[in-house]
């Protein structure tokens, strides 16, 4: 398991698992196909009850994070034996036998926990660091790999990647209702 600092460095390896004991209830929603994505994103949004600007902004960030995490699990994680991506983004697909993708989330009124796990176990610390490094340069390259991971790292507090090589990758962190730092999404 590793966390990444705001400079993109690995700061904790290994690290203790993030504690979710503060949350009254943790929701687990398995994904069966790419068609489930929007429904699951909607469920995450419905957890964040509140009509003010802070809640709306949290819903916007949560929807984006869930979208990026699920897209990565559905399309970037599956690799063939040569390491090539198996599915193209946007392609409709069902999970293959033995494949698992699960979104876990919880909201305590102040912070939202979000995590997506896949059963491929392909995302190394070096890969994540590399993606964040290339996305830190604001040179407007069009087809830049890892932009979704960069968004997660930018918006989430305690962003982490938990890797069991070849078995499981979990990507997660927290979104704050009232972020006090630009690093986590405050304006």
Partner 1 sequence: MEQQFKIEIQSGTTSDTVHFHGNIDSHADSHFEELNRKISKKMVVFDFSGVGRINSMGIALLLRSIKSIKTEKDAQISIQGVNQINSMLFKMTGIYLLAPETKRL
Q: Which of 4, 44, 61, 162 binds partner 1 (CB under 8 A)?
A: 61
126 touches partner 1 (CB under 8 A): no
Determine the interface stretch with partner 1 among 8-16, 18-26, 65-73, 164-172 (rule: CB under 8 A).
65-73
* Window 137-166: residues binding partner 1 (CB under 8 A): 138-144, 147-148, 150-151, 154
Element (H, E) at 37: helix 37-47
7 touches partner 1 (CB under 8 A): no
Phi, psi of 29 (to 5 degrees): -125, 105
Q: Tell the smallest beta-carbon distance from residue 59 to partner 1 (Å).
A: 9
Q: Tell the smallest beta-carbon distance from residue 167 to partner 1 (Å).
A: 26
183 touches partner 1 (CB under 8 A): no
Q: Tell the smallest beta-carbon distance from residue 149 to partner 1 (Å).
A: 9
- Name which of 9 and 147 has its Cβ closer to partner 1: 147
Full DSSP string of 79-140: B-TTS-B-S-TT---BPPTT--EEEEEEE-SSEEEEEEEES-----HHHHHHHHHHHHS-S-
Asked if residues 13 and 1 have their Cβ atoms less than 8 Å apart, the reply is yes
Counting every residue, how long is the chain? 187
Q: Cα separation of 154 and 140, whole Å? A: 17
46 touches partner 1 (CB under 8 A): no
Element (H, E) at 155: helix 147-155
Q: Tell the smallest beta-carbon distance from residue 69 to partner 1 (Å).
A: 11
16 touches partner 1 (CB under 8 A): no
Is the omega angle on the peptide bond into residue 7 within 30 degrees of 0, that is, cis?
no
38 touches partner 1 (CB under 8 A): yes
- Residue in 96, 80, 79 with CA at minimum distance from that of residue 33: 96
Q: Which of 1, 15, 47, 64 binds partner 1 (CB under 8 A)?
A: 64
State both tokens at 153: 């790292």
**Which residues of the chain form contacts with partner 1 (CB under 8 A)?**
38-39, 42, 57, 60-61, 63-64, 67-68, 71, 89-90, 138-144, 147-148, 150-151, 154, 185, 187
């Amino acid at each position: 398991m590793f966390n990444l600092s705001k400079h993109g460095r690995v700061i904790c390896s290994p690290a203790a698992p993030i504690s979710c004991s503060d949350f009254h209830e943790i929701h687990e929603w398995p994904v069966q196909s790419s068609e489930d994505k929007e429904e699951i994103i909607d469920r995450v949004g419905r957890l964040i009850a509140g009509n003010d600007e802070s809640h709306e902004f949290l819903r916007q960030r949560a929807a984006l994070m869930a979208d990026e995490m699920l897209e990565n699990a559905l399309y970037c994680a599956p690799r063939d034996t040569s390491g090539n991506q198996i599915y193209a983004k946007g392609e409709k697909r069902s999970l293959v036998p033995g494949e698992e993708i699960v979104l876990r989330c919880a909201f305590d009124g102040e912070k939202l926990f979000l995590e997506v796990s896949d059963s491929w176990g392909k995302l190394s610390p070096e890969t994540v660091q590399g993606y964040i490094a290339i996305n830190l340069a604001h040179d407007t390259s069009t087809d830049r790999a890892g932009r979704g991971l960069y968004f997660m790292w930018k918006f989430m507090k305690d962003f982490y990647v938990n890797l069991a090589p070849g078995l499981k990758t979990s990507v997660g962190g927290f979104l704050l209702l009232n972020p006090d730092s630009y690093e986590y999404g405050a304006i």
